[in-house]
Chain A
Amino acid sequence: QKEVEQDPGPLSVPEGAIVSLNCTYSNSAFQYFMWYRQYSRKGPELLMYTYSSGNKEDGRFTAQVDKSSKYISLFIRDSQPSDSATYLCAMSVRVSGGYQKVTFGIGTKLQVIP
């Protein structure tokens, strides 16, 4: 079993829909919970992150972390065709080498249809 599980999709939604992306994880030591967005043939870029449990909102995007259930979510409101990309969840823990080691989900491919 992988440390981070994510449905690869693909997920296809009409423009304006609310999108829900989710990941589960098994390592209770994870501290930071991130969402990266990756456009085709590009590297991932950090979209938003939360520390520990709770919600964080940034414009049309909301990230939620439930550490008791080991479950994280990303909601996209009023989805746009420009949101079409692969969304990777990621989680980090500080390891013995002193750095924040990041474990990524497989990524969910999202397509927003105009």
Chain B
Amino acid sequence: GAGVSQSPSNKVTEKGKDVELRCDPISGHTALYWYRQSLGQGLEFLIYFQGNSAPDKSGLPSDRFSAERTGGSVSTLTIQRTQQEDSAVYLCASSLELAGTLDTQYFGPGTRLTVL
């Protein structure tokens, strides 16, 4: 079946511009996660969605970062007034939210963001 997809795969933008990154999770997965992966930092948690609500936004680095999810499916991560330190690979994952066992997260290929 189809896995997690993300678009665009690459995005180059100028400092100060806004960008939107999209994630299409696996159909039927109620949980969705955004992570950021940069050199020397590893995979950093940004936000967790349960359905359309975000009970854990603790990883968003500043108020320039926001995310939404609609229809319990597609999610968009928006970065306003981008800075060079925002350059990274942004990864999305989804899961079934299983209880009593490991809730495996399935990752998309990521969006590589470069801020000039």
Give complex CA distance A104, B35 in Å.
10
Interface of B is mostly: strand
Interface of A is mostly: strand
Give complex CA distance A51, B29 in Å.
23
Contact of A88 among B31, B42, B102 (CB under 8 A): B42
| A-B interface pairs (CB < 8 A), number | 58
Knowing A32-B102, A88-B42, the reply to whether A99 touches B108 (Cβ < 8 A) is no
Q: List 14 A-B contacts (CB under 8 A).
A: A6-B42, A41-B109, A42-B109, A43-B109, A44-B91, A46-B104, A46-B105, A99-B50, A99-B56, A99-B103, A100-B103, A101-B45, A104-B43, A107-B42
Closest CB in chain B relative to A71 CB, distance in Å: 18
Chain A residues near B (Cβ < 8 Å): 6, 8, 32, 34, 41-46, 49, 51, 88, 92, 95, 97, 99-107
Number of interface residues of B (CB under 8 A): 24
| Best-buried of B45, B50, B56, B105 by chain A (most CB within 10 Å) | B105
